Amino acid sequence: MKTLSIAFCLLVSTVAYAQKLQLNDSAYFETPGVNILVFNSQYNGMFFDEKTAGIELIHHGVRTATGGAVRLQHTPEQWDLVPALTGRKVDRQKNSIETALRYDEFGFNSRITVMAKDNGVEISVFLDKPLPEKLEGKAGFNLEFLPTAYFEKSYLVDGKAGSFPLYPAGSTKIASADHRIPQFAGHTTFDDRERNEFIVPQPLAAGNTIVLAPEDPERLVKIHSTDAALMLFDGRNLAQNGWFIVRSLLPANKTGKVLSWYLEANAIPNWKRAPMIAFSQVGYRPLQEKTAVIELDKNDLPLPSASLFQVTSDGTAVEKLKAETKPWGQYLRYNYVKFDFTAVKEPGLYFIQYGDQKTNVFTIGQDIYKDSWHPTLDVWFPVQMDHMQVNEAYRIWHGVPFLDDALQAPVNHQHFDGYKMGPVTDTKYKPYERIPGLAVGGWFDAGDFDIQTGSHCSAILSFVAAWEKLQLNRDETFIDQATRYVDIHRPDGKPDLLQQIEHGTLNLVAQVKNIGHPVRGIIVPYLHQYHHLGDASTETDNLPYNSSLKPWQSDGRSSGTKDDRWAFTNRSPFLDYHTAAALAAAHRALKGYNDSLSQRCLQYARKLWSENARQTTGSDTGFMAAFRRNSELAAALQLFVATKDEQYASRFKSMIFPALDRSLQFGMAVALQAYPFMDKDYQNKMREYVVKFKTMSDGYNKLNPFGVPMTARGWGGNATIINWAITNYYAHTLFPDIIGAEYIYKGLNYIYGCHPYHNLSFVSAVGTRSKKVTYGINRADFSYIAGGVVPGLLLLQPDFPENKEDWPFLWGENEVVIDICASYIFLSAAVNDLKSK
């Protein structure tokens, strides 16, 4: 130990030790450059370990560690059991936080205290009862470190050097599954090989003192344990989304304080986060307002001015404007000032400079939005097309998947991805019986390969609005339903938007035709499949299940492998109405393009409406009741526009104004869409609601410096902001004297980079600098699909907004889904269509 101590002293002789940590008013430990959060956020009961809970480290402005807790695996995967937080006490006198954790599955309780000590914290684990025998050699304290924060860096374990692997290459061994701690109870398997054995990663190194990144003052962390060995693991051996993990096993047959770590994260003296200049990466039209929002460390003093430079054709930077910065105040953990450069209207290339911070270039020009929606329609949506082979130049994105769709999901089943079946199927099919006709159309909802029917309905409604209101006739994709083939960048003489409406509608129609109603979703049943990354066509064997065959046996037409996706078929009025709205809208768009499909759309929309209209009250409650009312409104409007039948108009008018009185945010868009089809009394009454909506929207300027409806939930808020901007578009076209175009631009500017944390465009391949790492089917490659719109900022409680660009696996920040992408196409094209500015 003497040699280690001398080596460590020499190592840090040129690095300042952390300043003492103190509990702040937000109940986490803080010193400039280091924040330690202790269960400010809890593990999610639905998705288990989202890597946003437990003891966490924000190190020089970057969250680099998470998941500090008692865990039951060396390298827990997402669906492994997580502890429930049963108590949290903040003791400001002792400068400590105590948490109580419980695993109900084993009746196992533990307490963890985190107390400021010297220049770090002491983390101690207490047991009131000895460790349950089943957990001996399994339960331990884990702290997980973000791999990308430590790539190409080294570590020292008891003075012995090693390097963090860029790609997982550590040792593993096979153990009997009898010794495995069970995963979430909804995890089932069809694969006996998975049942009988499992992989156990072996530590990269072990010792009593671990120093992470000793060469990097921004990432240097020291952990020391006197009563148990520290083990360093690479969690990516089991799952691509795994982190580097430091772990100590809890001892058997002991109570009281059974484990203690000392953790010290280096703090660079007087560290302040560099200013971040938020602006639109796509740029600005000459006449629109142009305001950059500059994000500052709360200990930073604002500079009095900023400058706008134009880059000329010979590469010279010419200062076009120097203007005063105007303080906005504090939002979450940062202070903000604004720089208004609206006065500059000359088209060209520009950048902003604030102190020694300089942005990349952006454009001022009238046509900046002309192509902004193209990548989403040209590339992202084709790649998401289910039941089709998708080609792009020399690349095959995926083969034809899921030709074996689909089996009836079993009753009384809770699926690991949130789907659920009650005690009946609400269909004529028995559990595990094949439902015919479902292997057609649809899009992968997200980075996994399920069909979310509600998202399909929203996407189709956005597409139809774009077709009817904006006449988007772009043709850049070859789509052949007969041969199940898609070729990107190859025109076929047909509008891509119509072809996408057709593709999504085919699956909705198949559901209603073959099942009788739309279903919650269609998804693989087994966690072993759900982990799948890459080509969707290899997630199943593409052969319908045949119970007369043995597992892995095939007759060439079917197989005995029960790997087919399940249809979750419990019926809901919300989904019926939502689907009726989408089908009624699709009926209009497809008329003259695919008349037979168009007629079936209207037939099934009427069917779903009439079957639900006979119910005097909905079976949904709470939030679902609100969703049902909103979807019934949309269905009534779309059916009225499609048929001119007054029964639908009457129902819409009886519901819309009570809906607006309950919530302007959720009712305004459909109310404005109805405006052209309603009478003068309706139109006159809408004016007062638009005035109220403007007042509500103006209130966002006081809530955050970006002036948009930002949300603070477990999923980024970009969908809310896009839908708000779309509502402003409808309001502006009808009431330009009340809602100006700037309300629309403000929402789109946010999406394009004028937002907290960083200034990347949230739309991949749109804008000068945009998201290059997203949660899609190619996330394991740390890549993206052009045109994908990520959810955006995730708020880590209590005050840390985050959107990681170097780590794709945080789905709440980076998972791209179909409804937000479809609404983005409408918004971007609508802004391009604005002629006034």
pLDDT at 79: 87
pLDDT at 216: 98
The closest of 532, 775, 714 to 45, measured between CA atoms, is 714
With beta carbons less than 8 A apart as the criterion, state whether 276 and 355 touch: no
The closest of 204, 56, 63 to 121, measured between CA atoms, is 56
The chain-wide mean pLDDT, for the chain, equals 93
pLDDT at 814 over 50: yes
pLDDT at 15: 45
Q: Which two tokens stand for residue 590?
A: 């497809």
pLDDT at 608 over 70: yes
Rounded to the nearest 10°, the torsion over CA 65, 71, 77, 81 is -130
Q: How confident is the model at residue 185 (pLDDT cuts 50, 70, 90)?
A: low
pLDDT at 14: 38
With beta carbons less than 8 A apart as the criterion, state whether 487 and 478 touch: yes
pLDDT at 625: 80
Q: Using CA atoms, how far apart are residues 498 and 516, in angstroms rounded to an integer?
A: 25
Which of 271-275, 590-594, 610-614 has the least mean pLDDT?
Answer: 610-614
List, in sequence order, the alpha helices (H) in 617-717.
623-643, 646-662, 664-674, 680-703
The closest of 700, 708, 713 to 725, measured between CA atoms, is 708
pLDDT 10s digits, 72-103: 999 999 889 999 999 999 999 999 999 999 99
pLDDT at 142 over 90: yes
Kindly state the average pLDDT of the residues 611-629: 70
Q: Which residues, 6+ apart, have CB-to-CB distance to 230 below 8 Å?
A: 157, 206, 207, 208, 209, 210, 223, 224, 246, 247, 248, 261
Kindly state the average pLDDT of the residues 465-473: 97
Kindly state the average pLDDT of the residues 578-597: 98
Q: Which residues is 120 bridged to in the sheet?
A: 117
pLDDT 10s digits, 191-246: 444 444 678 899 999 999 999 999 999 999 999 998 999 999 999 999 999 999 99
pLDDT 10s digits, 657-702: 999 999 998 899 999 999 999 999 999 999 999 999 999 999 999 9
pLDDT at 447: 85
pLDDT 10s digits, 150-183: 999 999 999 999 999 999 988 999 887 666 676 6
What percent of the chain stands above pLDDT 90? 88
Q: How confident is the model at residue 7 (pLDDT cuts 50, 70, 90)?
A: very low
| pTM (2 d.p.) | 0.95
* Sheet strands (E) in 2-119: 22-23, 29-31, 34-38, 55-59, 62-71, 84-91, 96-103, 108-117
Please give the class, per CATH, of domain 2-265. mainly beta
Q: How confident is the model at residue 25 (pLDDT cuts 50, 70, 90)?
A: very high
pLDDT at 47: 79
In the three-class reduction of DSSP (H, G, I as helix; E, B as strand; rest coil), residue 569 is classed as: coil
pLDDT at 3: 39
To the question of domain 369-608 being in CATH 3.65.10.10, the answer is no
Q: Do domains 2-265 and 369-608 have the same CATH topology?
A: no
Kindly state the average pLDDT of the residues 120-127: 98
pLDDT at 503: 98
Kindly state the average pLDDT of the residues 395-414: 97
Kindly state the average pLDDT of the residues 6-32: 69
Q: Using CA atoms, how far apart are residues 491 and 475, in angstroms rounded to an integer?
A: 5
Rounded to the nearest 10°, the torsion over CA 706, 712, 716, 720 is -60
Is it true that the peptide bond before 203 is cis, omega within 30 degrees of 0?
no
Which of 73-82, 313-322, 559-568, 795-804 has the least mean pLDDT?
Answer: 73-82
Domain boundaries, the chain: 2-265, 369-608, 615-703
pLDDT at 70 over 90: yes
Cα dihedral sign for 177, 178, 182, 185?
A: positive
Kindly state the average pLDDT of the residues 300-324: 98
pLDDT at 193: 42
pLDDT 10s digits, 268-285: 999 999 999 999 999 999
Helix or strand run (H / E) with residue 315: none
